[in-house]
Amino acid sequence: MGTEKKLDTDFLATMNRMNLSGRLLYNKKAYYTSCYLYGYVLETGLKHILQKYGTHDGMPYTIGDLKGFQHNLAALIREAKQVNVFPEEFEVDFDDDYSYICTNVAGYPRWDPRYRYGEHPMWESADWCYHYAVEAGRFAKFINNYREEPE
């Protein structure tokens, strides 16, 4: 121990890893943990967007800034909405397009990793997890396919 090389932080690779792992668990009917991982798809994808295009106090975001958001999707969404680099046809509506993960549908809470110990009332549901799978997959596809550079 002690001489291992530490790899660079890679939010995009992490997003894809979480999406794949969520899908594998979903296919094995491990819905609760799948939902848990699908939320990280949005978290790490948003951190990738902020790292690539965002600024904080006029400076590019640092890895420390982005890790400082911890697991606060609402704050990441607020910051990502400020980035403003996406053409109108690529605009993301988190309240509508990602309502299961990002808002509270039917009074159930949005994604939050604090529910990892079994407290979320719907993550065990195949139907609920299906919605998470669709939203996370759509978001990952959007992030992976968006390669335009801002003007």
Q: What does the pLDDT look like over 10-48, one tens digit per residue?
A: 999 999 999 999 999 999 999 999 999 999 999 999 999
Highest mean pLDDT among 89-98, 103-112, 132-141 belongs to 132-141
Question: What's this model's pTM, rounded to 2 decimal places?
Answer: 0.87
Hey, which residues does 60 pair with through a beta bridge? 55
User: Mean of the per-residue pLDDT values for the chain?
Assistant: 88
Secondary structure in 3-state letters for 16-77:
HHHHHHHHHHHHCCCHHHHHHHHHHHHHHHHHHHHHHHCEECCEECCHHHHHCCCCCHHHHH
pLDDT recorded at residue 1: 57
SS3 content of the chain, % helix, strand, coil (to 5): 65, 5, 35
